[in-house]
Amino acid sequence: MSDQHRTSDEQATPGSHGYAGWQPPQPPRLDGTSYQSAPESPYSYPAPAEPPTQGGFDGSEPPNPPEAGSTAPQGGHARRGLLKGRLALVAAVATIAALLGGVTGGVIAERRDASASSSAATIVSPVSINSNGTANISAIAAAVSPSVVQIVVKTSTGTSTGTGVILTPGGQILTNFHVISGAVNGDGQMTVTFKDGSTVSGSVTGTDKALDVAVVTAAGVSGLTPATLGNSAGVAVGDQVVAIGNPEGLTGTVTSGIISAENRQVSVQVDEGSTRSNGGFGFPNLPGLNGLPGRSSGSSSGSSADTATYKAFQTDAALNPGNSGGPLINANGQVIGLNSAMYSSSNSNSTADTSAGSVGLGFAIPINDIKQVLPKLQAGQNL
């Protein structure tokens, strides 16, 4: 075989140097000419390519993965650095989003809590004011009358009649102390009459003689309609008001008027003897009455320990014996006071002459003052 043919065969066979066609360097020819490859025969065909073997395409074994701690090739290191940078960016964005989400959620929760608290503090208005700003008296009467009851206490010495305001569906009722004073010691028998005419027995739950208020409980009842207690701090002189009560036993009587004055200091005898003799109503000791400060419109055998003193709303809504313990209601149908006393122009030496009736000087205990002690009374305390 000539050198040229050998060279062609060697080119067609993969050498030990890893790729086909590689020629080993040739020593220089003696005549100074270079070796020439034999011209390719037009009838020759290239040898078919061998299928790649396991590993590299040249049959070599694949490189082993780098061991832990070894330095990766430069290209892999760049790719890994880029990947780590992207992962760090994603993690940072997720962290910021979580923080913002937490802050936003906290603000929303706080606003919801504030909104819930605000809603809880809002007082319902059972009645809407007329479009011209006046009180809708017939609507007030219809809305609140089911929450008003008549209270009668009979003792061995007489009968006391008054009014009460339903506090709970289970039968707790707010009234004046002087209305139920005969039943405090267990001597008097109390009955409660509802708007529908039904009557049940009642018992004293809690009392505050100094403020002339009490809570009683009607026996064996449920599903009653409680009145809405308003905010007496918002009351102004000239506001329209409605009174509902049982004057002289005339149940469900409705009268109306305005707030004539605020913070009138009133002292009322709350002993059983005084209230029994005037039909269960408080007759106040008004400062400056008949030009004599502290002079009462009547005398009483009660001691100073049986006197309640408070700052009252003055109203010209007609109040008469039997209205004690009834609600004084604003234009929204909310109870803003408890009717407790009235002035009578009768002879100052008489304690029970009520023939003159109402003269437009009625007094009510502000409901905010009552709210301060009401939970204790409902819990059964005697203050």
Of the chain, the end-to-end C-alpha distance in Å amounts to 134
Give the integer Cα–Cα distance in Å for 50 and 48.
6
Give the integer Cα–Cα distance in Å for 317 and 360.
6
One of 8, 160, 208, 212 is an active-site residue; which one? Answer: 212
One of 8, 147, 160, 178 is an active-site residue; which one? Answer: 178
Give exposure, 334-351, as e/b (b: 16+ Cβ within 10 Å).
bbbbbbbbbbbebeeeeb
Is 5 marked active-site?
no
Which tokens is 190 given?
């109390």
Give exposure, 147-165, as e/b (b: 16+ Cβ within 10 Å).
bbbbbbbbbeebebbbbbb
3-state secondary structure of 340: strand
Is 324 marked active-site?
yes
Is 3 marked active-site?
no
3-state secondary structure of 9: helix
One of 324, 340, 344, 346 is an active-site residue; which one? Answer: 324
3-state secondary structure of 138: helix
Q: Report, as residue numbers or ranges, the catalytic residues.
A: 178, 212, 324
